[in-house]
Chains A and B, each alone.
Chain A
Amino acid sequence: AQSVTQPDIHITVSEGASLELRCNYSYGATPYLFWYVQSPGQGLQLLLKYFSGDTLVQGIKGFEAEFKRSQSSFNLRKPSVHWSDAAEYFCAVGLLNTGNQFYFGTGTSLTVIP
């Protein structure tokens, strides 16, 4: 079945530490890939997107993500986490010729400790 998987439901990191959030997808073709962040009580904000070209994409707030076709992954990274990064992170996939549907992962909740 087609799916977007975020294997880590919850991650806790110390402020200043590096961060990697995992995202895997299972689709036959190369999808369009996105990472969104949701702060408590807020809507979702786009962090970054991958359509084609350079597989390492830069986003807002110091985040980056790398598309690895061989691993069907699009992991999100940040070299040094800030307390304000505590939020829910969603990976999303858009497919060729599927109209206007996104498929979202179940999310990873990030806690940042001092």
Chain B
Amino acid sequence: DAGITQSPRYKITETGRQVTLMCHQTWSHSYMFWYRQDLGHGLRLIYYSAAADITDKGEVPDGYVVSRSKTENFPLTLESATRSQTSVYFCASSDRRERIPRSGANVLTFGAGSRLTVL
């Protein structure tokens, strides 16, 4: 199916365990992003990637690791999950052609989200 898909949609894990959230997009978009959504905070950027093998930190990167070996995939790993990482995680992508001149800000297309609970 075309689009941007996240898996798993729901995950329950325990403190200290490693968790990987997957994100796959079929549009060959250059840019991909990970956000977390928490009540009272809106969406906050965790990491983003401008292309394969290029990643950069966002607003709240601590405790997370990303990689992008292929353009279409952008997995997010919590190496040792903590309760504070209980959240809904959204992956997003953007086509370079949507890039706003001068700002680098892009129009984002979001996945359906992954709800992670850390016990």
Binding site for B on A (CB under 8 A): 4, 32, 34, 36, 41-46, 49, 51, 90, 92, 94-102, 104-107
Count residues of chain B with CB under 8 A from any CB of chain A.
Answer: 31
CA distance A49 to B43 in the complex (A): 18
Q: How far is the CB of B69 from chain A (nearest CB, A)?
A: 20
* Chain A residue at minimum C-beta to C-beta distance from B44: A104
* One of A36, A44, A94, A107 near B100 (C-beta < 8 A): A94
Instruction: State whether the Cβ of B50 lies closer than 8 Å to any Cβ in chain A.
Output: yes
Q: A43-B90, A43-B110, A46-B108 are in contact. Are A102 and B103 (CB under 8 A)?
A: no
Give B91-119 interface residues, CB cut-off 8 Å to A: 92, 94, 100, 102-113
CA distance A36 to B90 in the complex (A): 13
Q: A100-B50, A106-B42 are in contact. Are A43 and B112 (CB under 8 A)?
A: yes
| Residue numbers in A under 8 Å from B94 (CB-CB) | 100
14 contacts between A and B (CB under 8 A): A41-B113, A43-B111, A44-B90, A46-B108, A94-B100, A96-B102, A99-B104, A100-B31, A100-B33, A101-B45, A101-B48, A102-B45, A104-B35, A104-B44
Q: A32-B100, A44-B110 are in contact. Are A94 and B105 (CB under 8 A)?
A: yes
Instruction: State whether the Cβ of B56 lies closer than 8 Å to any Cβ in chain A.
Output: yes
Q: What 0/1 readout, one digit per residue, does chain B (23-59) give for beta carbons within 8 Å of chain A? A: 0000000010101000011111100101000001011
* One of B105, B107, B113 near A101 (C-beta < 8 A): B105
| Residue numbers in B under 8 Å from A36 (CB-CB) | 110
CA distance A106 to B113 in the complex (A): 17
* Chain A residue at minimum C-beta to C-beta distance from B110: A43
* Chain B residue at minimum C-beta to C-beta distance from A4: B42
